Structure 1
Amino acid sequence: MSDVAIRSWSAAEIAAGDWTIDHRDDVDGLAAEIRDVLERGPGFAAVTGVPVDDLDTACARALAIVGVLGRPLPQGPERAPTLTWLIRDEGTSRFAADGAYEKGIYTSKSHDDLDIHNDGAMRPHGHEVDLFALLCVEAAMAGGENVFVSSGAVIDALRADFPRAYERLCQPFAFERSHVAYAGQDLVSWAPVFDLAAPRPRVRWNRQRIEMAPPVTGVPLTADDVSALDAMDAVLARPELRFRHTLARGELFVVDDARMLHGRTSFRDDPAAPTGRCLVRVLLARH
């Protein structure tokens, strides 16, 4: 399968699409509809009205719905793995006091803005992530807007405007992954950003983790490497490619990790509220 299999979508085309599904208790029928939307749409489906009366119920429902689509993958530290990872502010930050990246930090446990990336970039815990799901249990008081970018649109733009950078991005980079490596696993994962010659094309993007790799590998980034990363960021910043959407309570997004890149703006919770912004994340390998 070649890169032509990853269709390009602009933000306007995504906004005009019909990718929303009403929740119902028929899990198999719901999963079939999600598959259909994923196949014909930009690379995600949104299920609205999912009951999230409490956190346990939300986790169970997320697993019940998306578990039909693929095999849930373990997340989190080796001592306490889970299939339902909570994305919420737990007081951490991806930046140290000097502005450098903090090592071993789960950026999902902060209120920081998150650069455009995809969840399977580093092969977390040795797994290949095909799909991921985000179920909103509670929205933030302010901020927390999700940003989605079609990887097909990024590929097309790079090939047209930055061909040299595109060729470099099709060659391996090292990704630091100490926070998602169990005992005995390598602390870096080597892979191209665009691995399009595989039977199922893969896209792996997380600039932070690429920039954190040289101290581990002993291999510095070259000027050509940095130029390619800058070109990727320049394309990702194009407003016409950035589809913005704030998940509402009870909204479940199921996303194809190769076809859709995503990020998030920083957010602020209401200190008087019993819970802050909280999403349940499930990572999936296709059956």
Structure 2
Amino acid sequence: MNEHTVTEIGWSSQELEARRELWSLALTDGERQRLWVDAHAGRWGAAGPVRERLRAFVRESAGSVGLTHVGNLVDPSLPEEEITEALSFLLRDFGRIVPQNGRGDLTSVLRDQDGDGNTELGFHCDTCDLLVLLCLQPAYHGGGLTKLASARHVHDLIERERPDALATLREDWTFDRTGRAGPQVVVTPILYPRKGGTIGCYYQTRTVRSSPDRGGPELTDRQWEALGVLDEVLYRPEIAFGLPMAAGDLLIIRNSRVLHGRSAYVDEPGPHARRMLRIWLNEGETWAP
């Protein structure tokens, strides 16, 4: 995965909240309107200065904190198809859209499926450089927060408390993703040092635990223990930051730096049902000036 290194910041939930200016940017209604006029036209014009401001902010925040939140990016009253097309144009500045599943879907709308919103979605990393989430409609009764955890902070905590478990997490693990988009088998450490001193992460709790059932290597007692240590740290109250997103808000997560999940929620049928537009990006050379 490509990465333009900016000074990396590890953070707890309180630290992230206290430093919102590093990663959260709110657009004015005028800025939003100019962006979307150009996006609908499919070419850049009057929104050029807003575009450059957004590009610079995303590059800095995704490089340091590992995520970017942009408030008021979209008028959520627009038709879903129109929003998706315009957003796909805007995202060309940040990467190439890649398929999310074996069917080759380039976009998907996340919503409650048979009540699965009632269950918290555990921490994991998606198999792309940048995960993009656009809130179309938040959960009507609250909940459904996007949960975020800093790989650097988690790594450093485990290094201090359980260096033996960290040594195991730094070894290669097998993630069997048969039938999904991208590599069918991923062999990688879960937490690991990268060039330039940054900390990388790759974690999918179900695929790493079920890989032996698909012919992968059996997990050792030492590996099971290390996974338990990782999960215990991830679910400490001070680790996870719960981000409420309003309709029209955008979130970009660098998968190599930040693990994400979702808190539980009770959905409301009909137009108030929670809906999140998801897009996967790989960066390539698009971040070059």
What TM-score, normalized to structure 1? 0.80
**Where does residue 108 of structure 2 map in the other structure?**
85
Kept in 2: contact 1:145–1:265 (CA 8 A): yes
**Where does residue 146 of structure 2 map in the other structure?**
146
**Where does residue 106 of structure 1 map in the other structure?**
none
Q: Which moved more, 1:215-224 or 1:256-265?
A: 215-224
- Separation of aligned partners in 1, 2:102 and 2:115: 15
Match status 1:39 vs 2:63? yes
Kept in 2: contact 1:175–1:210 (CA 8 A): yes
> Matched residue of 2:109: which SS?
strand
- Separation of aligned partners in 2, 1:240 and 1:209: 26
**Where does residue 226 of structure 1 map in the other structure?**
224
The structure in which a higher percent of residues are helix is 2
Kept in 1: contact 2:123–2:261 (CA 8 A): yes
- Separation of aligned partners in 2, 1:22 and 1:149: 22
What amino acid sits opposite 1:239 in the alignment? P
How far apart are residue 112 of structure 1 and its match?
3.3
Kept in 2: contact 1:62–1:135 (CA 8 A): no
- Separation of aligned partners in 2, 1:73 and 1:276: 27
**Where does residue 286 of structure 1 map in the other structure?**
283
- Separation of aligned partners in 1, 2:230 and 2:274: 29
Match of 2:125 among 112, 118, 123: 118
Between the two proteins, the alignment pairs up a number of residues equal to 255
What amino acid sits opposite 2:200 in the alignment? R
Match of 2:26 among 16, 19, 22: 22
**Where does residue 60 of structure 1 map in the other structure?**
85
What amino acid sits opposite 1:136 in the alignment? C
How far apart are residue 197 of structure 1 and its match?
4.2
**Where does residue 265 of structure 1 map in the other structure?**
263
Residues 202-227 of structure 1 deviation map (CA, whole Å, 9 limit, x = unaligned): 31011111111111125221110100
Match status 1:12 vs 2:11? no
How far apart are residue 5 of structure 1 and its match?
6.5
RMSD of aligned C-alpha atoms? 2.5
> Matched residue of 1:76: which SS?
coil
- Separation of aligned partners in 2, 1:61 and 1:37: 23
How far apart are residue 198 of structure 1 and its match?
5.6
Kept in 2: contact 1:62–1:282 (CA 8 A): no
- Separation of aligned partners in 1, 2:265 and 2:152: 28
> How do residues 133-172 of structure 1 correspond to structure 2 at under 5 angstroms?
133-142=132-141, 143-172=143-172
Runs of 4+ in 1 over 4 A off after TM superposition: 197-201
What amino acid sits opposite 2:140 in the alignment? M
Match status 1:236 vs 2:234? yes
Kept in 1: contact 2:176–2:216 (CA 8 A): no
- Separation of aligned partners in 2, 1:6 and 1:232: 21
Which runs of no fewer than 5 residues in structure 2 stay unpaired? 36-46, 285-289
How far apart are residue 28 of structure 1 and its match?
2.7
Residues 239-259 of structure 1 deviation map (CA, whole Å, 9 limit, x = unaligned): 111111121111100111111
What amino acid sits opposite 2:145 in the alignment? E
* Cα gap change, 1:208 to 1:33, in 2 (>3 Å): same
**Where does residue 76 of structure 1 map in the other structure?**
101
* Cα gap change, 1:116 to 1:218, in 2 (>3 Å): closer
Q: Which moved more, 1:82-91 or 1:254-263?
A: 82-91
What TM-score, normalized to structure 2? 0.80
What amino acid sits opposite 1:171 in the alignment? E
